[in-house]
Chain A
């Protein structure tokens, strides 16, 4: 797939999403679609470091919430418009990824995983104690009354998330098909050998940590407008950390398709379970699927399909 074709596809998907908002009236679908797309961004972001380079991040919720709170602060302080929120959230979470990476990526993978786990807890504690964003009581964010063309703000947010998901997938695709992606794959497979071959391992890992963190922050940027009432316990929820790790693993971690497939499948399953049974089941579904996949298809759905194809 060439770069131009990729852009055409990305544009096509966005246009389709806009067209969809002309057809579907039921607001629920936009809320559900938003959540699924948000997971597409999170899973894709996680996969850039976790899948391509093999460095597991348990703190996705922290990066996501940092993006969301960055946006909330900017809305409250200066009433910044959405594009500014997205960029600011990306920059702040990207810097966090870079600094956590600089502190821990010189060491082997386990230390990075532990650091990210602690990071989410530290950030949550900071937010809980920050009065400006409402501490543990949380804060309300009022959606703009009207928005050009869409009229309905939720439909607008849905399209924004489509654009962000397409952008995240495009970035992942570009990384995967470049020397950066090749170098990350080498790090994943055998870091010492990668070093012997002249792969600048530390620089590549830092780059991956930055891009991955930034995209997670971006996923959180529209969140205050989506949820309208935001408080730390749900913004830093374990769901985000577990899902953004489980979705790529179920879909397959070595290509950009994996997180997309995993997020759409698991995200939809969770939405259906929330409506029909209870949202309390969401993590259970993920947990059981993860166990099944680790045993039956350790390379995820993408790996499973590939193996079938090469056999048949």
Chain B
């Protein structure tokens, strides 16, 4: 079940606006890697490029699974999902007028996931009891915290090996952020996931991250090989800790 993601020299943007300038990152099997940066520095664009939602202008993205490497550049999102990568998008992006259960089932759209749909659904309802209670409710009518849980569960329904999570803390009360982060760690252990998490909430992200990158103006400004290195770095102190 080894899987590893390597991106080198990614240049990407929207139309004439270049957002990423030669970004290189690496996520190894079983790691939780934090991608730290404040708003507008390119975190989401990087995740979207990895997912095939934004086509990079240059650079390469390689996914290694079970000793097989696949280049992800040029593949569509459905093919990338098919390779075992899932994205929990920023702002959840649920299907608001579908029920919680319908949202979850849609996570299992790809063929391999459909074969295990009963198991994965049972797991998700076990892991997120609140979703079991609200199974028949419309997703859009739930609270922000519940919606974030549903977004996580829906991504799990694709049976990913690698989970990309875009700002899980956005718009949530501090207590909920803390719960969501704890949940991500728990899921990572039980589902043997490799996690890349973009976050601007530094304290919460470093609670569960093994290491991380700081992205500033579309470039990797610093790579911390441990949470300690991250906390002690000048940039982080300047941007996050207000020291």
Contacts and interface: CB of A to CB of B under 8 A. Distances in A.
Interface residues of B, number: 26
A197 interface: yes
Nearest to A189: B95
Contact of A196 (B93, B98, B102): B93
A199 to B, nearest CB: 5
A199 B109 contact: yes
Task: Please report whether the interface of chain A is mostly helix, strand, loop or mixed according to DSSP.
Answer: helix
B96 A196 contact: no
A183 B109 contact: yes
B80 to A, nearest CB: 8
Contacts of B76: 200
A198 B109 contact: yes
Nearest to A196: B87
Contacts of B10: none
Contacts of A183: 106, 109
Interface string A193-236: 11111111100000000000000000000000000000000000
* Chain A contact patch, size range: 10 to 19
B53 A182 contact: no
Interface of B: 51, 53, 76-78, 81-82, 86-87, 89, 93-98, 102, 105-107, 109-110, 113-114, 154, 158
28 contacts: A179-B114, A182-B102, A182-B105, A182-B109, A183-B106, A183-B109, A185-B102, A186-B98, A186-B106, A186-B109, A189-B97, A189-B98, A190-B94, A190-B96, A193-B89, A193-B94, A196-B53, A196-B87, A196-B93, A197-B106, A197-B154, A197-B158, A198-B77, A198-B81, A198-B158, A199-B109, A200-B78, A201-B78
Given A182-B105, A189-B97, A193-B95, 20 more contacts: A179-B109, A183-B106, A183-B109, A186-B109, A192-B93, A193-B89, A194-B95, A195-B77, A195-B78, A196-B86, A196-B93, A197-B81, A197-B106, A197-B109, A197-B154, A197-B158, A199-B78, A199-B109, A200-B76, A201-B78
